[in-house]
Chain A
Amino acid sequence: ETGVTQSPTHLIKTRGQQVTLRCSSQSGHNTVSWYQQALGQGPQFIFQYYREEENGRGNFPPRFSGLQFPNYSSELNVNALELDDSALYLCASSFPENYEQYFGPGTRLTVT
């Protein structure tokens, strides 16, 4: 069974640029959630996708957007990057009827 994978591992961007982060779900999982984790804090919910549709969103501005593909992989896009966007971005997959979420290793984004 393949676990959740994310790419890239690390990324450095300049303020104002755009970034795309990628996630492959654990085998058989059709629900994907994205979280932002600042240093020393717990993960903050960004949004969730189920069957290629957004299925819930946290308190993040519209410049945070996402996609889910038919194979259940997912992308997180962030436009007009700000310094405060520097964080660990986590992807988690699950079955919709089983609330247990399994996380990937994360992408460390640094905005300078």
Chain B
Amino acid sequence: EDQVTQSPEALRLQEGESSSLNCSYTVSGLRGLFWYRQDPGKGPEFLFTLYSAGEEKEKERLKATLTKKESFLHITAPKPEDSATYLCAVQSVNAGKSTFGDGTTLTVKP
């Protein structure tokens, strides 16, 4: 069964203080790994898809990387508006569903 574990559960940063979020996964044949941002009471917002180890994607202050066992979401010089819960999910080649982790809640203080 596919599994996703995210750490830390919560992360508090000062504005401008860079850090990384971790997503460890086990999957029987990776079809894709996805990162989403979720604001309180809203649906997840798609950020990135990574398909193979060594792949990297960037968007503004966010950069996602992928290895065979984990993915990192690097946040460079974060701003208060980056505060949200970041979700990681995987899809295996044998299933159309996405298996999600429980997320990392990021708070960026000005």
Q: Which chain B residues in 73-110 approach chain A with CB under 8 Å?
A: 87, 89, 91, 95-103
- The answer to whether the Cβ of A103 comes within 8 Å of any Cβ in the partner chain is yes
Q: Chain B contact residues: over half helix, strand or loop, or mixed?
A: strand
Taken together as a complex, chains A and B put the C-alpha atoms of A76 and B91 apart, in Å, by 22
Which residue of chain B has its CB nearest to the CB of A59? B1
Taken together as a complex, chains A and B put the C-alpha atoms of A10 and B59 apart, in Å, by 32
Which residue of chain B has its CB nearest to the CB of A42? B100
* Chain B residues in the interface with A (C-beta under 8 A): 4, 31-32, 34, 36, 41-46, 49, 87, 89, 91, 95-103
B32 — which chain A residues lie within 8 A by C-beta?
Answer: 99-100
Q: Which chain A residues in 50-74 approach chain B with CB under 8 Å?
A: 50, 55-56, 58
Chain B nearest Cβ from A35, distance in angstroms: 8
* Chain A residues in the interface with B (C-beta under 8 A): 4, 6, 31, 33, 35, 40-45, 48, 50, 55-56, 58, 88, 90, 92, 96, 99-106, 108
